[in-house]
């Protein structure tokens, strides 16, 4: 510990902290923009955190300047206050201030910091940088007019995936953050996971909103049916002031019903269906000598990564569609038949924690007889926006159930799809039963659980055979497992890969976790939010009476009355897909 003074008051702090971190520990929040998540990004570029410190020439950027013994720090002197205000005013002078039309409004850190430092309207007037807006990618929108060049997205893309799609380009006033050659995300090997959106402090990076498509479908008189993914319930409450990790399943169903959807379904049913198909596929591969290890295919960000970078390993991917696509296909076939509706008049909306799903739903390989399984994908954040604009007071909603006709039941196995290791565990519960004829005791496979990036592995004994499994989330971890397969050194039979670190609970469409905008959360919320959201899902799993996908009565009924066998002919037509290698940079004419 070392001794420092802030505003003349003595404190003891840990050595090695930056002034920003030390001040936070002592009860001061210095405004900052570029600094993020314990130095994940610390360019010292925004200059919003300038303070006076002894031993330093002039003002220092507190996010990069380390504390030292005996240091005296002044945050509130007129010189420091004015410098911070000027810095932010300079950022604003080259910023597109159309805040009313910006979807980030309410959660914009630039606006928050501008208010904190007392930035004046149009303090500096001058030329604006040339503006580039990329709306070509189904998942993401990039608008350089709102970019403050903080570098958070660049750091996140590199840290989470080791890919580094985004980088700084050109110099001086012409500097922009973009994929190489200022290309669209659609024309670069971007996997559209949206992790960059989650860290962008302004509206420069956003999801490509599809709320307008839903409005159009309602106007056209379609049968608009909504389905929500497991991870959404673990985070939607955050948008309405609930503490992180509060499950809001019942209120979410109630809210979606009040938005006018003809049916509101839980994608957990689709998750159970995925396990039936994927589990069966794994058993076939294990017993009949198929390509091993088999890798899960639920995460469209991961599928994009595989197609761009590991075209040679595509036979390892399960041919199963992701749960919401499966469920969409069932809605447009079985449900439509049951209700005497033309599938062309059905409009399926998926509420997802994900922006890559926006890309996924448009894939040609996912169409059945030319009809897409899913017509629009909105993120958890977009759902919150729809709820707000409809005047629904979320907190006062009653707890309601999902619609239960045809696909209302779901198992606890379906719920945990939303967290890294969840698909693996759900599959193991069913595969164990199929091979042994009895349920695994205890039901849980805790060895595969976790809530962070990094690789976990486990060996499961099933009837004397050992099944080696591995789990990775984030492409940096996935790459390690994939390179092993490529080199012929992989010892696994089954691998789960999720695009986003921590899985869907930390997806690119989830509510923003911005410590400065969440005064009621703990200081270490960026370290704990994934675990808290994961717990919300595991607790729902425990509350379910049915815990295994193969015991879901409506799944059993669906196979008996409609699909026949898992991996059977009709199941293949509706529920399975294919992949194709893609070249990241060569898709457009240079």
Number of residues lying near other proteins (CB under 8 A) = 18
HEC per residue, 306-343: HHHHCHHHHHHECCECCHHHHHHHHHHHHHHHHCCCCH
> Closest distance between other proteins and the C-beta of residue 587, in Å?
12
Q: How far apart are CA 299 and CA 353, in angstroms?
A: 11
Locate 1 and state its tokens. 């510990």
Q: Tell me the backbone φ, ψ of residue 5, rounded to 5 degrees.
A: -125, 135
> Closest distance between other proteins and the C-beta of residue 308, in Å?
12
C-beta separation of 110 from 86 below 8 A: no
Helix residue spans in 230-314 (DSSP H): 230-233, 249-258, 268-288, 300-309
Q: Does 181 contact other proteins by CB under 8 A?
A: yes
Q: Does 164 contact other proteins by CB under 8 A?
A: yes
Q: Does 589 contact other proteins by CB under 8 A?
A: no
The residue from 93, 158, 528, 539 that contacts other proteins (CB under 8 A) is 158
Q: Which helix (H) or strand (E) covers residue 508, if one does?
A: none
The residue from 287, 466, 586, 589 that contacts other proteins (CB under 8 A) is 586
Q: How far apart are CA 160 and CA 151, in angstroms?
A: 14
Q: Which stretch binds other proteins (CB under 8 A): 104-112, 129-137, 167-175, 569-577?
A: 167-175
Nearer to other proteins, 220 or 588 (CB): 588
Q: Does 435 contact other proteins by CB under 8 A?
A: no
Q: Which helix (H) or strand (E) covers residue 378, if one does?
A: strand 376-379
Which is nearest to 248 in space by CA: 231, 267, 226? 231
Residues 135-154 that bind other proteins (CB under 8 A): 154
Q: Which stretch binds other proteins (CB under 8 A): 156-164, 462-470, 532-540, 571-579?
A: 156-164
Q: Does 129 contact other proteins by CB under 8 A?
A: no
> Closest distance between other proteins and the C-beta of residue 168, in Å?
5
Nearer to other proteins, 153 or 386 (CB): 153
The residue from 13, 108, 111, 165 that contacts other proteins (CB under 8 A) is 165
Q: Does 163 contact other proteins by CB under 8 A?
A: yes
Residue found under tokens 């945990």: 416
Q: Tell me the backbone φ, ψ of residue 207, rounded to 5 degrees.
A: -75, 155
Q: Which stretch binds other proteins (CB under 8 A): 20-28, 98-106, 162-170, 537-545?
A: 162-170
Q: How far apart are CA 495 and CA 293, in angstroms?
A: 7
Locate 487 and state its tokens. 């080199």
Nearer to other proteins, 195 or 318 (CB): 195
> Closest distance between other proteins and the C-beta of residue 262, in Å?
44
Q: Which stretch binds other proteins (CB under 8 A): 60-68, 166-174, 365-373, 436-444?
A: 166-174
Q: Which stretch binds other proteins (CB under 8 A): 259-267, 329-337, 340-348, 582-590?
A: 582-590
Q: Does 489 contact other proteins by CB under 8 A?
A: no
The strand pair at 454-462 and 465-473 is best described as antiparallel
Q: Does 171 contact other proteins by CB under 8 A?
A: yes
Q: Which stretch binds other proteins (CB under 8 A): 84-92, 159-167, 259-267, 295-303?
A: 159-167
Q: Does 590 contact other proteins by CB under 8 A?
A: yes
Which is nearest to 257 in space by CA: 215, 214, 222, 227? 227
Nearer to other proteins, 171 or 219 (CB): 171
> Closest distance between other proteins and the C-beta of residue 184, in Å?
14
Q: Which stretch binds other proteins (CB under 8 A): 175-183, 411-419, 430-438, 458-466?
A: 175-183
Nearer to other proteins, 158 or 319 (CB): 158
Query: At 93, is the secondary structure helix, strand, or coil?
Result: helix
Q: Which stretch binds other proteins (CB under 8 A): 95-103, 174-182, 220-228, 484-492?
A: 174-182
Q: Does 319 contact other proteins by CB under 8 A?
A: no
Q: What mask of x and - would describe binding to other proteins in positions 8 to 47, judged by CB under 8 A?
A: ----------------------------------------
Which is nearest to 316 in space by CA: 100, 433, 187, 488? 488
What b/e string do you get for 150-179 counting C-beta neighbours within 10 Å, with b at 16 or more? bbbbbbbbbbbbebebbeeeeeeeeebbbb
Q: Which stretch binds other proteins (CB under 8 A): 67-75, 94-102, 165-173, 318-326?
A: 165-173
Q: How many C-beta atoms surround the C-beta of residue 86 within 10 A? A: 17
> Closest distance between other proteins and the C-beta of residue 476, in Å?
12
Residues with Cβ within 8 Å of residue 568, at least 6 apart in sequence: none
> Closest distance between other proteins and the C-beta of residue 40, in Å?
16
The residue from 31, 139, 179, 502 that contacts other proteins (CB under 8 A) is 179
Q: Does 180 contact other proteins by CB under 8 A?
A: yes
Helix residue spans in 94-233 (DSSP H): 109-117, 152-161, 195-199, 211-219, 230-233
Q: How far apart are CA 258 and CA 551, in angstroms?
A: 31
The strand pair at 9-13 and 50-53 is best described as unpaired
∠ CA 406-410-415 to the nearest 5 degrees? 145
The residue from 50, 141, 166, 313 that contacts other proteins (CB under 8 A) is 166
∠ CA 576-563-578 to the nearest 5 degrees? 5
- Write out the residues near other proteins by the rule CB under 8 A: 154, 158, 163-171, 178-181, 585-586, 590
């Amino acid at each position: 510990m070392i001794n420092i003074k802030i505003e003349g008051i003595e404190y003891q702090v840990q050595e090695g902290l930056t002034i920003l971190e030390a001040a936070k520990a002592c009860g001061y929040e210095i405004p900052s923009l570029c600094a993020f998540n314990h130095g994940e990004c610390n360019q010292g570029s925004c200059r919003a955190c300038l303070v006076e410190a002894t031993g330093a020439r002039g003002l220092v950027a507190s996010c990069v300047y380390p504390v030292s013994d005996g240091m005296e720090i002044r945050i509130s002197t007129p010189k420091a206050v004015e410098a911070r205000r000027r810095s932010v005013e300079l950022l604003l002078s080259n910023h597109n201030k159309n805040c009313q039309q910006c979807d980030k409004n309410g959660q914009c850190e630039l606006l928050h910091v501008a208010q904190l430092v007392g930035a004046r309207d149009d303090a500096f007037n001058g030329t604006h940088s040339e503006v580039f807006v990329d709306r070509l990618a189904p998942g993401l929108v990039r608008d350089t007019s709102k970019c403050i060049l903080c570098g958070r997205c660049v750091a996140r893309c590199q840290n989470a995936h080791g890919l580094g799609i985004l980088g700084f380009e050109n110099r001086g006033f012409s500097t922009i953050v973009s994929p190489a050659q200022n290309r669209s995300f659609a024309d670069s090997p971007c996997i559209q996971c949206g992790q960059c959106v989650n860290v962008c402090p302004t509206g420069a990076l956003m999801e490509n909103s599809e709320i307008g498509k839903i409005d159009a479908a309602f106007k056209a008189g379609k049968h608009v049916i909504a389905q929500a993914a497991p991870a959404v319930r673990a985070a939607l409450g955050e948008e309405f002031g609930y503490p992180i990790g509060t499950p809001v399943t019942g209120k979410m169903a109630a809210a979606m019903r009040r938005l006018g959807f003809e049916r509101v379904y839980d994608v957990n049913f689709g998750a159970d269906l995925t396990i039936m198909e994927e589990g069966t596929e794994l058993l076939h591969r294990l017993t009949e000598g198929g390509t091993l290890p088999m890798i899960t295919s639920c995460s469209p960000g991961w599928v994009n990564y595989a197609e761009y970078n590991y075209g040679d390993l595509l036979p390892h991917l399960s041919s199963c569609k992701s749960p919401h696509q499966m469920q969409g296909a069932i809605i447009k076939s079985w449900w439509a038949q049951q209700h005497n509706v033309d599938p062309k008049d059905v409009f399926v909306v998926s509420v997802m924690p994900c922006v890559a799903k926006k890309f996924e739903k448009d894939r040609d390989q996912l169409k059945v007889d030319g009809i897409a399984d899913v017509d629009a994908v909105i993120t958890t954040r977009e759902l919150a926006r729809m709820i707000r604009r409809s005047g629904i007071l979320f907190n006062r909603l009653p707890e309601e159930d999902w619609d239960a006709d045809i696909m209302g039941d779901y198992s606890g196995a379906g719920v945990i799809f939303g967290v890294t290791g969840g698909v693996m565990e759900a599959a193991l519960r069913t595969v164990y039963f199929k091979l042994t004829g009895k349920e695994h005791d205890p039901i849980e496979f805790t060895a595969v659980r976790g809530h962070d990036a990094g690789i976990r592995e486990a060996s499961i004994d099933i009837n004397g055979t050992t099944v080696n499994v591995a789990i990775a989330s984030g492409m940096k971890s996935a790459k390690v497992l994939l390179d092993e397969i490529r080199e012929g050194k992989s010892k696994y039979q089954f691998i789960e890969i999720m695009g986003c670190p921590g899985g869907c609970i930390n997806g690119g469409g989830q509510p923003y976790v911005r410590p400065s905008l969440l005064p009621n959360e703990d200081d270490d919320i960026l370290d704990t939010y994934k675990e808290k959201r994961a717990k919300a899902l595991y607790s729902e799993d425990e509350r379910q009476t049915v815990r295994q996908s193969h015991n879901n009565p409506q799944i059993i009924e669906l196979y008996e009355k409609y699909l026949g066998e898992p991996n059977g002919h009709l199941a293949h037509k509706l529920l399975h897909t294919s992949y194709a290698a893609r070249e990241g940079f060569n898709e457009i004419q240079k």
